[in-house]
Amino acid sequence: MTTTSTATTLAHVDHVSRRFGSQLALDDVSLDIRSGEILGMLGPNGAGKSTLLSLLQGRRRPSSGTVELFGGRPTDARYRARLGSTPQETALPDTLRVGEVVDLVAAHFAERVPTAELSDEFGFADLLRRQCGALSGGQKRRIAVALAFVGRPSLVLLDEPTTGLDVDARHGLWAAIRRHRAAGTTVVVTSHYLEEIEALAERVVVIDRGRVIVDDTLDAVRSRVSSSIVTLRTSDADRVRELPGIVMSQPSEAGGRLELTISDSDEFVRVLVTSGLAFEGLTVRGSSLEETFLALTDTSSTIHSEGIRS
Amino acid sequence: MTSTTTTTSALDAPTVSPLRLYRAHVRAILVETMRVPIAVIGAMAFPAMSLLFFVVPNRAVADDPVFATQAVISLSVFAVLASSLFNLGLSIAESREKPWDPYLRSLPLSSTVRIGAQLTATSVISLAAIIPVVLLGALTTAAEVSALGFVLGFAVLAVTSIPFLLIAVCIGYAFASKAAIAIIQVVMFGFAFAGGLFLPPQLFPEWLDAISRFIAARHARDLVISAAEVTAPELWVLIGVLAWTVIAGALAVWLYRRDEGRRYR
C-alpha cells in the first residue's frame, strides 16, 4: 500500500500494552492513523477497542509503549485540540439541556459548528430545549456522535456509534460520517458489526484479545471474509490440507471431519477431485461474514497450522 | 508498504482562551446544581439549624457579643466546610463513576481549568450556605461586627475555604462515592469538633487543644475571628492555613492526574 505524499500521520501507537491489574487489555499494539481515511476497528466486545481509544484520547496512559497524537502526548490537553470523540455509553449530564451540552463541548474548540447547523445535520433540532435525562437511547446516541464533530476536528474517534439505532437512523449517521470524511476529516470507527465497517471503512483493523490480528484495506479483508466452508471426511487429512486455496482448516467437532475455509470453493473442488485423494461426505456452503470474522478472532481455530488431527 | 512519516503538530492550531472555558464550566456546573436544588438547600439549612438549636437557646452565649460572634463565625466556617466537602468532594466522586467525566477528559481541557471551575462553582454554593447563618446570627443573637471586620472576615473566610476545597478534591478523586460519603462525614464532624466549630477551643482540655492546632478547621475559625475583630492573627494559624493549602493542593493535582475514572472488574 502506498500513501500519497499529502497523507500525514495523525496518531501513532507504538508497541503499546495496557494492563488493568492482572488483565492485559492491550498487548503490544502498534498502529498509525493517517489523514484522510476511515479506519474501521473491528473486534468482539472486550477485545480492547475502547481501551485503545481511551489511550488516544489521553484518558488513560499505556502501561508500556508510546501513544502520540498530533505529534505529542494525548494526556497533554493541547494535543487534543483537533480531536473529536463521543461520550461512552452515550452518557450526557441528565439535568443539562441538549443545547447547553452542545455549547459546553463547543466551548473547548477554536472553531465550532453552529448549534443549529449541527442539530439539523444529526437530526435533533427539535430536542435542543429538552433536558438530556428525558431523551431516548437513540436520541442520545445521535447527539453523542454529533458532539464529536462540533469542534471541526481533524480526527474523530467514534466508539460504537450506531449501537441501538434503528436502520434509518443508522444509515443517516453513516451518511453524515461519509460527508465529514469527504470534507477531509479522518475518522476511526469501532464496531462489532461487520456490516457497519463494510459500509464505512477503507481500512480495517481487527482487534482480538488485545492484539491487532488484521490491519489491511477493506477489499483485502473482504476477500478473506467472502469465502466458503467445505467439510469432508478423509483418511488423508495432511495432504488435503496442502491443497491450494485453503485459508484456514480445523478438525470439525463432529469427529473425523475436516472443516476448511476456502476462498474459491468451485476451484477447490476441481482440484480435490483431480488430486485423486480419498474423501467422502463433501459439503460446501458459503460462510457468513459473521462466521468468518468469528473464525478470525477465535484462537482455537488454526490458521495454516500444522498438527491437525483428522 | 511505504508511508510518509510526516507528523503534524497540534500546537500551531488556534487555541481557546482558558478564561472562556473556565466560565463555560462554572456556568454548566452551577446550572446542573441549581436544577436539583436540594443539595444547596441542605447546605443552607444545617448550619442555620445548628445555630437555632444550640446557640440561640443558650443565652449565656447568645447574649454575649464576643461569644455570639465567635459562634456565628464558627458555624459559618462549618457551613463552608460542609458545602465544600459535600458539593465538591461527593460530586467529584459521583461524576467519576459516570462516563460524562471521562468524556470531558478527552476534550482539550486542562486539569487546572476543570478543577478551578469546580472550586469556583462550589464557592458560590458555599456563599449561599452562610447567608442564613449570618442573617439568623444578626437577628437572634448579640453577635456584632464592625463594617471593616465584616468585610475582612468575609474575605478571610473565602481564603480559608481553599484548603477545604482542596481536601474535598482529594477525597473526590481518591475514593468511590460510597466510600467518599463515609470519609466526608468523618472529616466533616472530626474537623468541626476538633477544630472548635461546635465547642469553642477555650473549653478544650490541653491535649485536644494541641491536636486542634493541626486541624484546618481550627485555622480557618481562628483566622476569620481575628479578621472580624480586626486583630493580628497568631503566626501558627497562618502557617497552618498555608501548609494545608500547599499539601492538599499538591495532592489534589496529583490525584487528578493519576485518576483514569472508575473501572469495574
Instruction: Mutation target for B interface from A59, A83, A98: give the one with most B CBs within 10 A.
Output: A59
Return the domain boundaries, chain B: 18-264
Q: Could you tell me whether strands A155-159 and A186-191 are parallel, antiparallel, or unpaired per DSSP bridges?
A: parallel
The confidence band for B91, taking pLDDT boundaries of 50, 70 and 90, is: confident
What is the value of pTM for the model shown? 0.79
Q: How far is CA A52 from CA A31, A121, A142, in A?
A: 10, 28, 23
Rounded CA gap, A285 and A292, in Å? 12
Grid coordinates given for A42: 473491528
The confidence band for A226, taking pLDDT boundaries of 50, 70 and 90, is: low
User: Residue B6: its chain A contacts at CB < 8 A?
Assistant: 8-9
**Lowest-pLDDT range of A218-222, B5-9, B101-105, B190-194:** B5-9
Q: Find the helix or strand (DSSP H, E) in which A133 lies.
A: none
User: Residue A95: its chain B contacts at CB < 8 A?
Assistant: 31-32, 35-36
Of residues A174 and A224, the one with the higher pLDDT is A174
Neighbours of B250 (CB within 10 A): 12
DSSP helix/strand/coil, A97: strand
Amino acid residing at B21: L
CA distance A280 to chain B (A): 43
Mean pLDDT of the B45-57 span: 89
Mean residue pLDDT across chain B? 88
- What is the tens place of the pLDDT at every residue in B120-152? 999 999 998 999 999 999 999 998 899 999 999
- What is the tens place of the pLDDT at every residue in A266-277? 888 888 889 888
Q: What per-residue confidence (pLDDT) applies to A240?
A: 84
**Lowest-pLDDT range of A23-37, A228-242, B94-108, B249-263:** B249-263
Grid coordinates given for B172: 473526590
Mean pLDDT of the A14-25 span: 91
The confidence band for B9, taking pLDDT boundaries of 50, 70 and 90, is: low
Q: What per-residue confidence (pLDDT) applies to B264?
A: 40
Q: What per-residue confidence (pLDDT) applies to B1?
A: 42
Cα dihedral value B140, B233, B130, B250, nearest 10:
-160
Compute the residue count for chain B.
265
User: Residue A100: its chain B contacts at CB < 8 A?
Assistant: 28, 31
Mean pLDDT of the B83-108 span: 89
Q: In what order do the strands lie in the sheet with A186-191?
A: A83-85, A155-159, A186-191, A38-42, A203-208, A211-217
User: Residue B262: its chain A contacts at CB < 8 A?
Assistant: none
The confidence band for B265, taking pLDDT boundaries of 50, 70 and 90, is: very low
CA distance B258 to chain A (A): 9
